Amino acid sequence: MFAHRKNPLDPDAATETPEAVFLNRRKWLAAAGLGLGAAGIGGYWGWRRWRGSDEEVIAGGEVETVPVQAAAGHREGTDETPRQSLHDAFPAPRDTRFSYGRAETDRADAARYTNFYEFSSLKSTWRYVDEFQPYPWTIQVGGLCRNALKFDLDEFHGTYSDELVERQYRHRCVERWAMAVPWTGIPLARLLRDADPLPAATHVRFVSFFRPDEASQQQYTEYPWPYEEGLTIDEAMNDLTLLTTGVYGRPLLKQHGAPIRLVVPWKYGFKSIKSIDRIELIDHEPATFWSTLSPDAYPFQSNVEPHVPRPWPQDEEWMLGTNEVFPTKLYNGYADQVAGLYRA
């Protein structure tokens, strides 16, 4: 059992995690090359084993599904909500308007290095998600709207089966790692329109699950569970904001936030809340998990801004898997789509 790390608010802890150093394969190889000899080889072997094979990392996060009644879906002329079983929803057609502008991150590399504090403050959360049962799963949309919604994953996939798309997005964590991955989902705006917001709704609040029996860190830490996030209504309605149930053309792995998560590619990764339990239309800026813990480091807006330290310098980022370094762009390169939201 690995010790769960100390205070994640300590900037040093979050940037140079022991694990990040540990995972830096090039350093290990270099160290071996420098003549640490047998010790180096032994260390490398241990590192290989501890790191987990690609197969282990992926299998560790795969969601077990129970066969649902009639994946065939909706019976015409009934009020029954259409249903589609999880695996039949994938793959979805690619939305060709989006491309990474760099190499796609390897699927196992993305699955190996994840942030999911409900399970661990280490990055290898795939090791800690065994007990998590994200299927079946019910999600609710409510608050200041005319048509509150409640549906399970199969109803979601049945209702939006013609609208699911795959989009290639860049992702940027405030800790400065980045990835380029294909998400499957629908624009959040599509769902919100179905909920029919009242004019008083100015913000949207997202709340993750609270299941201390399945997510050990919800038992042991003082964090303000459940994880919560928020957007202004205009940010939530922006076409880039994607509500996703898949990645790499398959259902989300547990460590990526199965069964349903948000992806907000122009903001730091912590805004992209995982494993959503409910969505609420509200008339004020909501508190969020990270802004509650550290308002200065993680303010509500938290757009990717290379010139604003948060709290580390943010002008560069490195890619999972390859360690390739890129200059960080304003709004993570999505300024064309979102700059209008922030003009005075």
Ligand X SMILES: Nc1nc2c(c(=O)[nH]1)N[C@H]1C(S)=C(S)[C@@H](COP(=O)(O)O)O[C@H]1N2
The residues binding ligand X (CB under 6 A) are: 114-118, 173, 208, 227, 256-257, 269-270, 272-275
Residue 41: both structure tokens together: 């080889």
Distance CA 189, CA 103 (A): 29
Minimum CB distance to ligand X smaller for 57 or for 144: 57
DSSP characters over 71-136: TT-PPTTS-PPP---GGGG-SPPB-TT---SSPPPPHHHHHHS--BTTTBSSS-GGGS-TT---SS
Smallest distance, Å, CB 343 to ligand X? 27
Smallest distance, Å, CB 37 to ligand X? 36
Smallest distance, Å, CB 254 to ligand X? 10
**Cβ partners under 8 Å of residue 8, min gap 6:** 14, 117, 121
Q: Which does 275 bind (CB under 5 to 8 A by kind): ligand X, Mo ion, none?
A: ligand X
Minimum CB distance to Mo ion smaller for 115 or for 159: 115
Smallest distance, Å, CB 177 to Mo ion? 8
Q: Which does 332 bind (CB under 5 to 8 A by kind): ligand X, Mo ion, none?
A: none
Minimum CB distance to ligand X smaller for 50 or for 210: 210
Measured CA to CA in angstroms, residue 246 lies from 234, 250, 265, 323 at distances of: 24, 5, 15, 25
Distance CA 90, CA 93 (A): 9
Distance linking the first and last C-alpha atoms of the chain: 51
Residue 89: both structure tokens together: 């929803």
Return the residue nearest ligand X (CB atom).
269
Residues 108-147, interacting with Mo ion (CB under 5 A): 115
Phi-psi region of 73 (alpha: psi -120 to 50; beta: other; left: phi over 0): left
Q: Which positions from 256 to 285 touch Mo ion by CB under 5 A, shown as an x/- string?
A: -------------xx---------------
Is 173 an interacting residue with respect to Mo ion (CB under 5 A)?
yes
Smallest distance, Å, CB 274 to ligand X? 3
Residues near Mo ion (CB under 5 A): 115, 173, 269-270
